Structure 1
Amino acid sequence: KKYEEWLSNINFSSSDQKFIIDTLYGCITHKKLLDVVVNIFYNHHGKKLFRVDRNLFIVVCYLAMFCLDDLGLEHFSRIIKSLDISKMHKLLHFYFCYLLIVVSKHSADVLILIIRWCNEIEVLLDQLAKKMGRGNLPKKSPRKNTKPREFDLTQPKARPLPAPEVIPQQDKPKPKPVPTTTHRSPKEPEILDDMKQRNRQKAFQILNEANSLQFRCANPQKSEKTQNVLSQILQSHDAELQFDKLYTSGSPATQKINSLPVRLNTTAILREGALYNRQLEEELQRLERLSQGASEPSAFLQWQKEMKEKDLQEELAELERRRLEGRISHEEAVLARERVLEHNHHKAQQTKEETAELMRKYAEKRLKEEKEMRELVQQVADGHKNSKAAKDKMQEIKQRIVKEVSEHSRELLSQALEEAQAELSRKMELIRQIRAFESVPLVRQKFVDDTESAGHDLLCEMSLAELRERLARLRESEQCELEDRRQRIFQEKQLKEQLLLEQLDNIALRKSLAEQAALRSQEEKRMRNELREAVSRDERVLTLQKTLEQKQQERQKRKTEKSSMKKNEQVLPLTVKTTLNKKQVLEEQHWQELERNLAQQIYGTLQPSSKKNGELYKNKK
């Protein structure tokens, strides 16, 4: 907007204003590229140019790079000639000659533009060079002829204006004070803003309540108060239970009897010893509770352990699923990144191939043009054979003059080189002498007697010899303390090793006892299994069990029949009821005797089979 106001204040045409605005916008858009070109130009001619002209060089580079086709050579040369000739000659020579080598490695479009306008710009550079050779002569302005004027003697003087009448002064009225409401903002917008804020907060609160209590009528769940009461009841029940207490139900069976021994460190030995002591105390407490009539919670602990294992398995499965999903998403991201890289590589390869094809076509076109120019030169040379001899003679004369001048300059250069070499050798000799003086060491030794003090008359003053003696005694005392400490540490270490050995002996003893108990329990379990198998295989036992089951079924059937009969015979007299009760008691006694006899028979058959199995087990041992 500032530039537009400035342009509107200056009387420019609409086309000029449009050209200035487009140039400014283009310089801002391509600022990075233009900064690179101008920085290279300053690095090349930095000592001979001012930083004030940087914006001028940026504008000229923009016109030469992007607007040369639209402007044309005539308008462009007019702009260049209106500026400083030497600066513009340096800039154009740098841009169209030196920058051609740099840009050819990076941008093909700029290269094509530079090559297309190279011949026309060379003509412009020649014109600028000629002007620089003549120098900047000031333009002579045309002389203005004097124009005669008539005398103003015959003109009459103008009449003076009449004196103005005096206006009577009136008393100025006192200004009224400005009311306070004039510069104070009204309260209505503030009240409205407060009301809007309160209404917004109220709406948010109602929305949150609606979201939290949605579908409350159709919600089959219990109310919040009921859930709180239920949770309190469950917490009280859980507090009464003893989930986390440890109970030992004997040492578990193990299959790793022949495993290799593990080398334990001090912490592990002490920890295992404490564990065995704690287990021993818990076992004693359990036996004491059992002796007092407590129940064995092994079944409940087994159920609790199974439920915990089940929950742990579900949690591990969920963790594994999440881990696999994360791995899958990571692999998908890697594949997507590889696809993007391949696409970019393919696109870059395609652009490289296109640029190579354009360069090849341009080279072919250039070769064709050079061939045509060569043919044209050959035709012109054939037509000017007569002037060739004169040109050769002139060339020989020029070469002879150049040779003489070069020999003279070579002699002058050799003489100057000898003088510079002599001056350099003289300076090197002076530098060598200065370094030799600097390398001589200075004597800075000070002879001091170690047995004498400094003589400052202080109580703590002492000589170097006394200080060394005291330091030696202090070092000896520290050495003695260190030896005592080492001896004490060694004794503590021996006591600790003895304690560890005792703990290891106790641990080994308890492990051997546990292994023996496990072997015994395994052997007893195997014996019980063999007894069960032998009993289950015995035909007599099977027949007796079948008969017992038949009797029990028959008894149950008779009970059901009697109960039905009782319901039908509720009207009978008391005498009949008493007789029936007596009969029922007698029948029950009869059936109990039969069951007792069957149990004795089964026990009698089991005893010889168990004796046989025991003898077989002893023989196997």
Structure 2
Amino acid sequence: MTEEKFVLDTLAGCIEYKSLLDVVVNAFFVRDGRYCLISERNLYIVICYLATFQLEELGLQHFSRIVKSLIYIIPSFLRFFFNALYLNTWIKDEWSQIYDSLYVKENWIDPLLRWQPKVQQLIGQLTDKLNNHTTTVKTSTVTQPKEFNLTVPKPRAIPIPLLIPVLEKRPPVPPSTYKPPQEKKQLEEIKTKNRRKAEVSVLCSCSTLSFLLNCFFCNIDNIPIKLNAAAILREGALYQRKMEQELKRIEDLLRGAGDPSEFLEWQKQMRGKDLEEQLAEIECRRLQGKLSHEEAVLAHQNVIQENKMKADLMREKKAELMHLYAEKRLQEQKEMRELVEQVMEGHKNAKQAKIKLQKYKQQIVQEVCEESRELLRQALEEEEEKLKKRYELIQQIRAIESLPSVRHKFVDLTETGGHGLICEMSIVELRERLALLREAQKAEEEEKRDQIIHEKQAKEQLLLDKLDQISLFRAELGRAAALKSV
């Protein structure tokens, strides 16, 4: 039950203090544990937790028993973790960013430093044991093997060696293969020149720069990291911005800027007034909303009354329209009776009207026949005229086809097509314009290529300058950290 509780407490502690333990384990994999297996990371986290939080309770004997069970992987980590320089510098700084610095120093860093000599002795014992570790073989009765009585084989005949073909002589490797490119040499010269300029400028303003760096960047870890272009520009901008802020603060102090407590007190009072005004405005809006709600209720009641009045008017209008509709129906029935009487009278005169209609139809048929004859005659005349013109046209085409045709047509490239267009040009002019257009396009491409090369060189020069500046900042950070640790 005690072992189960110990395991559960250790798991809970590793989860609770994961951010602290990750700082040490990640740094170990970056610096001394590059060749360690990533699958062993949880073991390092557990050992780091036990050494930091449980070493007082466990005691060195139980702790060494746990460590000796992992003798092949743990000594390098303990040597890294119990390094006094690391504990006093970057480990304390990184932990102080997560917890209070005084609490970190009293409860974690100082106990680790007290245990550091004894742990160093434990590391030495583990190292000696690992170096002198040999496998012991039990001295027991071992079966002695005997050789088999095998027939000795006859020696094989030596084969006749084959002729080695003579290879053709290969051309020598060109000397340019082992020579570095000229561009790299130029970049190195430019980098060296920029570094010298930067060192001269740094020596001129060493005191101010050291003060600013100690004020701002003394807690930054100086781990060598491979930076890309974006990271270089971003880090250079960060350093430049912080430098400008600190210079501005120093200039303000030199100009006589006083204690900002009065300004903060005034700012607090003004914020209180703004808060009171906001509360009053919120209360006013609440009252206005309540009044708007009451007005909406009254408006709703007025709308209901107006709707009732409109409904009464609609009922009256509907009754009046129904009365008018009834009168109209009576008038229509009366008109229908009169129409029926008129139709009855019309049937009496139907025979006379039928005779008149028949005579009228005969007259129309006669007129239509005469008109159709005239139209047919005109159509025949028009068709004969068309046939006559077509025959004459066919005769002309046959006469033209009978003439000898000119097979070779001479083309003048300097003449235009004669289509009457504004932008019309000859083939020679078109070729000249195309040649000029190609030359202009080629010149534009060359200009763009030169511009791209210049921009690339300028960008590389900017990155080199930023790298030199960053290296100077980091060097000052290292000096500040070393001074702080001392």
> Do they fold alike, i.e. is TM over 0.5?
no
Given the two structures, how large is their TM-score scaled by the length of structure 1?
A: 0.23
Relative contact order (alpha carbons < 8 A, sep ≥ 6): 1 or 2 greater? 2
